[in-house]
Amino acid sequence: MSVHESKPMRAGGRLERVLRAGLFAVTAELNAPDSAAPQEVYDAALVLSEVADAINATDAAGANVHMSSLGMCALLVRAGYEVVLQMSCRDRNRIALQGDLLGAAALGVKNVLCITGDDVTAGDQPAAKRVFDFDSVQLLRTVTLMRDRGTFLSGRKLSTRPNIFVGAVENPFAPPLPWRPERVGKKIAAGAEFLQTQYVFDIEIFRNFMKRIVDLGFHERIYILAGVGPLRSPKVVEFMRNKVPGVVIPDALVKRMNDTPKARGQEEGMQICVELIQQIREIEGVAGVHVMAYRQEEMVAEIIHRAGLLPRLKLKDLVPVKQTAPQVSAAVTV
């Protein structure tokens, strides 16, 4: 029995069951609309629901205002979708974060992704006040405490614990590169059970990152999903390279996109993404991919199809895994 298999089932959702079954998981990002219309969320989710094991609801991505992640998750869970709630530390203090976690669990959310969040200067309202009462590691510890010990940070007891599968993020391409795998270890120690990475365009850097992850044995303690996405045009490449924090795009891919006729730019960008997924699948320790394409859900579905990741198993076809009582973790300090 592997280390993963010996761990207790946390929430029993589709994503967790796919990962525990040793299947190559697919998650996809649903970018929140600038709207109060539920139908806009449903329309985007419908495209992703047939190709992904779970849908990530973004939380004010890029420090820009959109429909809230919790609001989107409430709509999607009601419609029967498996969701990943993103929780950013940028905009809420520990009181709000703990309350939102309970609210999410009560709504039926089974997966939570703990992120620190982009600084407000990345968005279109740079005068907004930063909160950052926590960073992502402290939030991970808090979620784990509430689930495994059944208390708030204050020590006050919960009458019902939130059954949550806990996720984190990591950027294998941010310097200093040798420190990035060690940082994953800190997130594992804080309670992270799955991890989604920044966009992978430089496959060699990612291979080195994963080699170190495997050498440390972390691949047996956390499920790693590599972030991927299409480069739709040279203009998008330039924007991502210079404006999106932590994105590294090799010169060879930049040249390939620049040399592609404009009419074929989107097609070539999708082909690059498919090729990267195929290479990523061969890397030891990778448990799946997280596909991101800003408000291009149809493109995400096409990429997943071309990469040979379909069909996805239906929940009823997954082997049921008995859920066990949470194990009390070590002392948590925030």
The CATH number assigned to the domain holding 73 equals 3.20.20.220
Identify the pLDDT of residue 294.
83
Is 315 domain-assigned? no
Q: Are strands 286-291 and 111-115 parallel, antiparallel or unpaired?
A: unpaired
Radius of gyration (C-alpha) of the chain in whole angstroms: 19
Is 211 domain-assigned? yes
Q: Residue 56, by phi and psi: left (phi above 0), alpha (psi -120 to 50) or beta?
A: beta
Q: Are strands 25-30 and 111-115 parallel, antiparallel or unpaired?
A: unpaired
Identify the pLDDT of residue 5.
61
Residue 297: which of 24, 50, 38 has the closest Cα? 50
Identity of residue 28: A
51 and 78 in contact (C-beta within 8 Å)? Answer: no
**Angle (deg, nearest 10), helices 136-148 and 94-107:** 50
* CA atoms of 40 and 29, how far apart (whole Å): 15
Is 115 domain-assigned? yes
Is 221 domain-assigned? yes
* CA atoms of 121 and 64, how far apart (whole Å): 10
197 and 227 in contact (C-beta within 8 Å)? Answer: yes
- Domain hosting residue 25, numbered range: 3-310
Q: How many CB atoms lie within 10 A of CB 50?
A: 12
Is 322 domain-assigned? no
Identify the pLDDT of residue 96.
97
Identity of residue 197: T
164 and 111 in contact (C-beta within 8 Å)? Answer: yes
Is 264 domain-assigned? yes
Residue 165: which of 330, 53, 304, 309 has the closest Cα? 53
Identify the pLDDT of residue 265.
93
Identify the pLDDT of residue 243.
81
Is 333 domain-assigned? no
Identify the pLDDT of residue 325.
41
Identify the pLDDT of residue 230.
95
Task: Collect the ranges in the chain with pLDDT lower than 70.
Answer: 1-6, 315-316, 319-334
Residue 246: which of 54, 102, 115, 75 has the closest Cα? 115
Query: Which residues on adjacent β-strands are paired with residue 167?
Result: 113, 194
Residue 265: which of 229, 293, 234, 309 has the closest Cα? 234
Identify the pLDDT of residue 1.
46
Is this structure's pTM higher than 0.95? Answer: no
* Tally of residues, the chain: 334
Is 34 domain-assigned? yes
288 and 21 in contact (C-beta within 8 Å)? Answer: no
Residue 280: which of 271, 272, 268, 289 has the closest Cα? 289
Domains of the chain: total: 1
Identify the pLDDT of residue 319.
61
